[in-house]
Every structure is written in structure tokens, then in C-alpha cells.
Amino acid sequence: MGPIGILVIQRTMEKGRLCGLYTGVGAAVSDLFYCLLAGLGLAFVTDFIAGNQELFQIGGSIILIIFGIFMMLRSPVSGIKHEDARKVSFTHDAVTGFVFTLSNPLIIFLIFPLFARFAFPSGIELEPKIANYRYIFIILGYIFIVLGALLWWFGITFIVDKLRSKFNVNSMWLINKIMGGIILIVGLYGLVQGLLLYFHVI
């Protein structure tokens, strides 16, 4: 729930659910673009990751912790300019959603540690008998990344559309804190597990 989340909510409240949803679709495409960049980057250093998986997990978990805290404390309305309620095309909504998300490359610093944390797309932790199907799992992984993003925006626009009269900045703060808290917990768990593996405790 960063600036793009605010933009989606603004358009949903001002111009209708479809405008907000198309903006989210554009953002989802941008997320996929960054995920592909991160995946290709990790694919080139698969052997290095495999040999230093614990360090990657520790580093990635620390970044997740920082990101979670940042998300919980950061104002959800920073960096957003209020748009007027003029009618525009769905193509405009999707393109601006894509460009708006693409203009924030910091998202890749969240994607990299997440990919490292869950050994995606290298498939380091796959059982030998299913390792031959690694590329199928990679394709499915990217498909579900997009589906997850679309489901997120579908849910957000649905809720905002139903609760237009009650939705405000305080609601955004609450969602940010919940999502940031979840990321923080995942990061803490990964950090502890990574440290235990690094020092051969488990």
C-alpha cells in the first residue's frame, strides 16, 4: 500500500471501480517486469546463491525487516498528487498505473530478498525427483505472481467501492501497518532461521 495503492483508491473513489482496477492491472504488469528482471539476475548467479544460501537468507531477511518497519511508519499519502475526477480511458488508467509503478525501482529491493528467501526461481530446495520440472514451476511462479497482484487490486477496489463513504487515510494507515507487520514477521523468522543454519545450530 504505497503511492500506487493511494492512486488506485483515489481513482476508484472518484471515477469508479473499473478505473481503479485498470490502474492496478498496469501496476501488476510493472511488478511482473521487475520480477522478471530479478529472476534473470538470480538465474545468472544460481551457483553462487546455492553456495551462500544462508547468507542470502540472512541479508534478504534483514532487508524485509527494514522494509516492513518502513511500511509501518511511512505516511501512505506521501508522494501523491490529487487528481481531478475527469473522465479518462481505461487504457490511460492502465498505462499510468504501469508507469507510476515502474518509476519506483526500489520495489526490486523487496523482490530480490523475497526470491532469495524462497529460493525462487533457482529451485535450490526442490526434491531431486521433481527438479526436472523446475521450469514448469518457474512459469507457474510468475503466473501466480501476476494473479496474486491482480487479486490484490481486485480486492482493494472491491472494498473501496463498497465502502466509499467510510474509506479514509486512517484506513490506509491501518492496512499499511498490517501489511508491514506481516512482512516484518516473515523477515524476523527468516533471519532467525538463517542464523541458525549459518552457525549450524539446525
**8 Å CB contact between 119 and 53:** yes
**Quick one: CA torsion of 135, 61, 66, 148, rounded to 10 degrees?**
30
pLDDT at 126: 61
Per-residue confidence (pLDDT) for residue 156, from 0 to 100:
92
Going by pLDDT thresholds of 50, 70 and 90, the confidence category of residue 42 is: low
Instruction: Check pLDDT > 80 for residue 152.
Output: yes
Residue 91's contacts (CB-CB under 8 Å, 6 or more residues apart) are: 22
Quote the distance between the C-alpha of residue 159 and its chain's center.
19
> Residue 143 sits in which domain range?
3-198
Helix residue spans in the chain (DSSP H): 3-15, 17-43, 46-51, 53-73, 90-102, 108-117, 134-162, 169-198
Reported confidence tier of residue 138, pLDDT bands at 50, 70, 90: confident
Return mean pLDDT, the chain.
79
Span between the terminal Cα atoms of the chain, in Å = 36
Question: How high is the pLDDT of residue 98?
Answer: 92
Query: In this predicted model, what pLDDT tens digit does every residue of 100-110 receive, in sequence order?
Result: 888 776 677 67
| Percentage above 90 pLDDT, the chain | 18
Q: CA–CA distance from 182 to each of 112, 175, 177 (Å)? A: 18, 11, 9
pLDDT tens, position by position, 69-126? 887 887 766 555 555 545 557 888 999 889 888 877 667 767 877 787 777 776 656 6
Question: Domain total for the chain?
Answer: 1
